[in-house]
Amino acid sequence: MNAYKTIVPFLKEHWHNYVIGIVLLMLVDTANLLIPQVLRIFTDWAQFGELNTQRIILSVFGVVGMGAFISIGRYIWRNQLYGTAKELEYWLRDQLFLQYLSLDVDYYKHKKTGDLMAHATNDVKAVSQSMGGGIMMIIDSIFMSFLTIIMMIATVGLKTSLIALSALPFISVAIGIMAKPVQRRSRTVQNTFSELTTEVQEHLSGVRVIKATGVEKLRSTLFSGVNQKYRDKNLDLVRINGLFDPVIKLFSGISFVVFMLYGSYQIYQQNITLGDFVAVVNYLQMIIWPMVALGMIANMFQRGIASMQRLNEIYGVHSSIVESDQAVSIEQASGAVRFERVYFRYEEDQPYVLEDVSFTLEKGNNVAILGRTGSGKSTIIDLLLRFYDANSGQVLFSGVDVTTVKLRDLRGAIATVPQDSFLFSKTIADNITFSQSRKVERDTIIEAAKFAKVHEDIMAMPKGYDTLIGERGVTLSGGQKQRLCIARAYLQDAPLLVLDDSLSAVDTETEDEILQHLKELGQSLLLISQRISAVKHADHILVMDEGKIIQEGTHESLLREEGLYRTLHDHQRLESQLDQRLREGEWNREQ
């Protein structure tokens, strides 16, 4: 049960709900156990000719009164226990989401989305069920069993009661034998469900690629394999779970038959009355539920423990990027950036991604970084946003070392348009205002869209700014996605704007207009790109290759010297000319 230590703070806050629920549950159980006593007395009155109208009315009102109390009490304790379990489900999921958001970016490189989703759904629900229905069953079964045995002994004596209950200890033995396999299989089922969720999520996200390559049948076959594995693991669990109820009912039935025989003999010997016999038969029927519940408890808590252990693995992960107790706020960030001899690598046994990188971006200026894929350009942004810490050297923002700045202040002062133009499956307006905590007027949203040269595209959509764009913006082109992300960054109104190859899907003319708008804002601008057309107007250009700055200067000065910049310039110009000629050739053929 150590797995449940994580929820102790919740239990301390809601202990009174559990106390009320458990007390009422025990009172309801007691009332249930009094009904056979009423039937016992009523039967004896009838057997010995002592029944009259007054006693009939008294018996009826006794049973009806206890029935009413049982109904009301059951309603209240179910609300207390099951309602609190739902509160726990909310609390666990909330804590898990906060933990997800607090973890390093690097953590998600090694995890599957399906696994993380399964934690927030199946695992949370399994823990909630164990702390709702599970608590109810364990209290109910133990208290009901104990009190039922006491009532049986009080009714027919110790010897007769022990004979009637003689087969029941075997139930506990059987449950003990089956509990561990249930836990192992439960954990396997949860892990396989994570794999299945990942498969579904990835296939839905990549449905356009699947259709474009014509591999629907192949992917369907591969998915069926994962789905079959999940089915087989569930069937393994079902097989062992299926043993619980038959085993319990077998031994309960044996107890019932034994008492029928021995009880009949005791009546014949006049050691017990017919009323005693009726009461014990009722008690034996009542004790079947606690015995069955023991099997359900074992299963439910084994699944709950397995799920709680999986959740604890997430809760136990600590971010390596943490604020120090002396972290400072940046009241008025200038937007200036400075890298001083920065070295960085993702793993100790890997080569450096950045080597001896130094540059300065002054307030209000714009610096562009050009380089091939894998040259380390995006890593500079990761260090600036402090997704990672440099192995050596110093990264400064607004004159302050980023490792000494409060993360919220640092990232709030940098508006980033990432390489992956991520959009949510909400409306256009919701995506533009995503980073805003306050309500944004429609005119302001339109202003941002016009700035990013996407307003006309939006107005051409069926519902304009209220158009739903689908999962990850699947209904939009690459250029539209990038421009929506730029509009989002514009609304952030941060002193530093970072574009990480965020104009790659935009045509050259639109790119020039957007860049001109950005320069007019007066913000500091850090622009990363592989295209010469995107960086040529920057105040200063850095050329990177294999993690090092190999050239720097203005567009004109870099063209005058031999090096990668001029090579890329000539290569891209040739590509542009060939593309232009192809378009002209197509136009001439159409004419």
* pLDDT, tens digit, 9 for 90 and up, residues 499-511: 988 877 777 778 7
In Å, how far are 192, 204, 243, 313 from 229, measured between CA atoms? 7, 20, 22, 24
Pairing of strands 366-371, 524-529: parallel
> What pLDDT is recorded for position 395?
95
Among positive and negative, which fits the CA dihedral 557, 562, 563, 568? positive
Amino acid at 453: K
Domain boundaries, the chain: 8-315, 328-413+494-555, 421-493
Residue 446 has pLDDT above 80, yes or no: yes
Mean pLDDT, rounded, for 182-205: 77
Angle, helices 216-268 vs 274-315, to 10°: value is 150
Mean pLDDT, rounded, for 236-248: 80
Tokens 């609390």: give the residue: 91
User: Which residues on neighbouring strands pair with residue 401, listed in sequence order?
Assistant: 396
> What pLDDT is recorded for position 211?
65
Name the residue among 269, 268, 111, 116 with its Cα closest to residue 193: 116
For residue 59, the 8-state DSSP code is H
pLDDT digits (tens, 9 = 90+) for 10-54: 888 999 999 999 999 999 988 888 888 888 888 878 877 787 888
CATH architecture for segment(s) 421-493: 3-Layer(aba) Sandwich (3.40)
Tokens in use for 398?
A: 């607004």
Angle, helices 442-451 vs 478-492, to 10°: value is 120
Tokens 């990432």: give the residue: 418
Tokens in use for 587?
A: 């136009």
Angle, helices 8-47 vs 53-102, to 10°: value is 160
Residue 406 has pLDDT above 60, yes or no: yes
For residue 343, give the H/E element and its range: strand 337-344
> What pLDDT is recorded for position 1?
60
As a whole number, the mean pLDDT across the chain is: 84
Mean pLDDT, rounded, for 570-576: 83
Helices (DSSP H) in 356-470: which residue ranges?
Answer: 377-384, 407-412, 428-432, 442-451, 455-459
Angle, helices 169-205 vs 274-315, to 10°: value is 40
Q: Express as a percent the part of the chain with pLDDT over 70.
A: 94
Band of pLDDT at residue 137, cut at 50, 70 and 90: confident
What does residue 425 show for φ and ψ, rounded to 5 degrees? -80, 60
pLDDT digits (tens, 9 = 90+) for 524-547: 999 998 888 888 888 999 999 999
Residue 488 has pLDDT above 80, yes or no: yes
Report whether 85 contacts 131 (CB < 8 A). yes
Lowest mean pLDDT among 89-98, 176-185, 412-421, 459-468: 176-185
Distance CA 321, CA 103 (A): 8
Pick the more confident residue, 553 or 515: 553
CATH topology identical between 328-413+494-555 and 421-493: yes
> What pLDDT is recorded for position 527?
92
Strand ranges in 478-523 using DSSP code E only, listed in sequence order: 496-500
Mean pLDDT, rounded, for 101-107: 83
Distance CA 127, CA 89 (A): 8
Band of pLDDT at residue 553, cut at 50, 70 and 90: very high
> What pLDDT is recorded for position 51?
76
Mean pLDDT, rounded, for 439-460: 88
Name the residue among 391, 389, 417 with its Cα closest to residue 402: 389
Strand ranges in 41-93 using DSSP code E only, listed in sequence order: none
Q: Express as a percent the part of the chain with pLDDT over 90.
A: 19
Residue 480: CB atoms within 10 Å:
22
Pick the more confident residue, 201 or 351: 351
Band of pLDDT at residue 584, cut at 50, 70 and 90: low
Distance CA 75, CA 72 (A): 5
Q: What is the third-level CATH fold of 328-413+494-555?
A: Rossmann fold (3.40.50)
Pairing of strands 354-361, 524-529: unpaired
Query: Roughly how many angstroms between the first and final C-alpha of the chain, as a whole number?
Result: 80
Band of pLDDT at residue 76, cut at 50, 70 and 90: very high
Residue 423: CB atoms within 10 Å:
24
Band of pLDDT at residue 589, cut at 50, 70 and 90: low
pTM: 0.73
Report whether 294 contacts 141 (CB < 8 A). yes
> What pLDDT is recorded for position 205?
67
> What pLDDT is recorded for position 550?
93
In Å, how far are 138, 312, 318, 322, 407 from 327, measured between CA atoms? 49, 29, 18, 10, 9
List all residues 6 or more positions away from 84 whose beta carbon is below 8 Å from its beta carbon.
14, 17, 18, 21, 131, 132
Angle, helices 53-102 vs 274-315, to 10°: value is 10
Residue 355 has pLDDT above 90, yes or no: yes
Ramachandran bin of 82, using left for φ above 0, alpha for ψ from -120 to 50, beta for the remaining angles: alpha
Name the residue among 537, 495, 499 with its Cα closest to residue 516: 537
Per CATH, the homologous superfamily of domain 8-315 is ABC transporter type 1, transmembrane domain (1.20.1560.10)
Buried b / exposed e over 553-573, threshold 16 CB at 10 Å, is bebeebeeeeebbbebbeeee
3-state class of 232 per DSSP? helix
What does residue 148 show for φ and ψ, rounded to 5 degrees? -65, -45
In Å, how far are 401, 474, 501, 523 from 331, measured between CA atoms? 15, 39, 29, 17
> What pLDDT is recorded for position 402?
92
Name the residue among 258, 227, 205 with its Cα closest to residue 422: 205
3-state class of 385 per DSSP? coil
